[in-house]
């Protein structure tokens, strides 16, 4: 996961093994109220740890007047989120969008 401006890029493995690193990067945005774009096109593995963390991130951004925009989300990650009933909480698009688009699905 890298920080590129206000963009969060998730790597291939976004599972619990990497959650601490991801947490650090999420925290960089905490309290800023920025509009963060998240690119999860490459994610092959995601789980509860990651998703709940992203929910926390989204909440934090919105509390401070910002947004979390999903530029792209891989089928795998979308699948996991859908299976766990977390699409709404994450503000994910209704369907997986594996390609990065210029007009991100707004939430």
Partner 1 sequence: MIDLSEFHDVFFEECFEGLDIMESGLLNLDGNGADSEQINDIFRAAHSIKGAAATFGFDAMSGFSHIMETLLDEMRDGRRAVERRGLDLLLESVDCLREMVNSTKAGDTTPPPVVADLTGRIQQMLAAGPGAVAAAPAKSATAEPEQDGAPAEEVVAAESAEKSADSVAGSRNLWRIMFVPFEGLLKTGNEPARIFRELAQLGILEVKADTSCIPALDVIDPEVCYLSWNLTLGGDMTRGQIEDVFDWVTGQCELSIDLISGELPTQKAAASLSVVESVEPPVAATDQPAPAAAAVAAPASVKEESTVSEQTESSKNQTNAEPAAEAADGRAAASTAAAKDNGSIRVGIDKVDALINMVGELVITQSMLSQIGEDLSRVDSIGLERLRDGLIQLERNTRELQETVLQIRMLPISFAFNRFPRLVRDLSNKLGKRIELKLTGEQTEVDKTVLEKLGDPLVHLVRNSMDHGLESPEVRRASGKSEVGVLELSARHEGGDIVIEVIDDGAGLNRERILQKAVSKGLVSANDDLSDERIYNLIFQPGFSTAEVVSDVSGRGVGMDVVRRNIRDLGGNVTITSEAGQGSRVTIRLPLTLAILDGQLVRVGEQVYIILLVSIVESIQITAANMGQIAGRSELYRLREQYIPVVRLSELFGVPHAVTDLQAGLLVVVESEGRRVGLFVDDLMGQQQVVIKSLETNFRHVGGISGATILGDGTVALILDVAGILNECARAQESKDREFPRLAVA
DSSP one-letter code for 51: H
> Which of 31/65 has CB closer to partner 1?
31
Does residue 84 touch partner 1 according to CB under 8 A?
yes
> Which of 2/88 has CB closer to partner 1?
88
Residue 8 and residue 25 in contact, taking contact as beta carbons nearer than 8 Å = yes
Binders of partner 1 among residues 28 to 67 (CB under 8 A) are: 30-31, 47-50, 52-53, 55-57, 59-60
Cα 10 to Cα 12: distance, rounded to the nearest angstrom:
7
Cα 49 to Cα 32: distance, rounded to the nearest angstrom:
23
> Which of 26/71 has CB closer to partner 1?
26
């Amino acid at each position: 996961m890298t920080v590129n401006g206000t963009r969060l890029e998730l790597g291939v493995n976004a599972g619990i093994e990497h959650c601490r690193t991801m947490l650090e990067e999420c925290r960089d945005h905490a309290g800023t109220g920025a509009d963060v774009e998240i690119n999860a096109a490459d994610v092959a593995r995601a789980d509860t740890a990651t998703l709940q963390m992203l929910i926390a991130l989204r909440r934090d951004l919105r509390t401070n007047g910002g947004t979390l925009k999903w530029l792209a989300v891989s089928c795998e990650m979308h699948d996991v989120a859908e299976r766990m009933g977390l699409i709404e909480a994450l503000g994910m698009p209704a369907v997986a969008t594996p390609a990065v688009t210029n007009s991100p699905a707004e939430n």
